[in-house]
Amino acid sequence: MGDTEYGLTNSEIDNVAHACGFAEEEPNTKWKRVFNILAKDQNTRGNGNGVLAFVRKAMRPAIYVSTPERYETLRENLNRALVFEGMAIERNGKLASVDTSNTINDARRKAAELRGSLQERGVHPDVLSFCREELLADNYFHAVLEASKSLAQKVRDKTGLTEDGSSLIDKALSGASPLLTINKFATETEKSEQKGFAMLCKGVFGMFRNPTSHAPRVSWEMNRADAEDLMSLLSLLHRRLDSNVKSESPQ
């Protein structure tokens, strides 16, 4: 909840803390403020009831009517931690109990099986790094989602660009003189291949990262076969970026 990008704002932290009747906290970084507020209340109460109250009030869907994609991202991030304590925030904002033991074991089994399968395929190590237990505790979608983010970061690292999604790909891989090319970009065939590669990258971002498609994707129960195939696609894109033959700084 104190995450810099997707967590609560300072004013939201103040509002939720006030609604819970917590003592005011001195200015600090967001994650430290959240920690200090909850730690003080738990030490005073001697139990975690105040922590649960804070989570419930912070995750009321009505607060995020104008930013549903932010709500779902925050909910997903919270659930990655809560699931290991036998709890989860449902889509209606309610805090529900889940089977902790089965969830942990299932996450570990998923991580081991997916990693082993992808290693056999020779999948890129940058993709394998996202086959972690905490990402697989809910479903395979989280691992693929995070792996797709690494693709954009690699393009930014190679070009110095700061954009994201389609605009990043357009500036880095498209046009008459791309900043990055996956071939010599001399013949019409090579230029066509470059264009297709850029379209593949944009397709990945559109499928997993486009805010307008966020609502349906959060309920996408991805199975292992889907995850393996999509990870293999991401691996291909990573390898082609690693072997790019042209890299220039943006003007």
Mean of pLDDT values over 119-125: 90
Instruction: Provide CB contacts within 8 A for 224, sequence distance 6+.
Output: 110, 113, 114, 117, 140
Judge residue 8's burial from the number of C-beta atoms within 10 Å of its C-beta, 0-12 exposed, 13-18 middle, 19 or more buried.
buried
- Is pLDDT at 227 greater than 80 in this prediction? yes
H-helix or E-strand spanning residue 181: strand 180-181
- Is pLDDT at 70 greater than 70 in this prediction? yes
Residues in the chain: 251
**Position 91 confidence tier, pLDDT thresholds 50, 70, 90:** confident
Which whole-number Å values give the CA distances from 36 to 3, 6, 26, 45, 124, in the listed order? 15, 19, 9, 14, 40
Quick one: pLDDT at residue 63? 87
| Reported pTM | 0.58
- Is pLDDT at 54 greater than 90 in this prediction? yes
Instruction: Provide CB contacts within 8 A for 85, sequence distance 6+.
Output: 100
Please give the mean pLDDT across all residues of the chain.
83
% of the chain surpassing 70 pLDDT: 88
Return the domain boundaries, the chain: 10-97, 101-247
Mean of pLDDT values over 65-79: 81
% of the chain surpassing 90 pLDDT: 34
Quick one: pLDDT at residue 249? 43
Higher pLDDT, 210 or 15: 15
Higher pLDDT, 103 or 58: 58
**Position 185 confidence tier, pLDDT thresholds 50, 70, 90:** very high
Q: Of 60-69, 118-127, 132-141, 230-239, where does the model show the most confidence?
A: 230-239
∠ at Cα 144 (238, 76), nearest 5°?
Answer: 140
Quick one: pLDDT at residue 45? 87
Determine contact, residues 144/157, Cβ cutoff 8 Å: no
Quick one: pLDDT at residue 65? 85
Read off the pLDDT of residues 136-172 as tens digits, 9 standing for 90 and up: 766 788 888 888 888 999 999 999 999 988 999 999 9
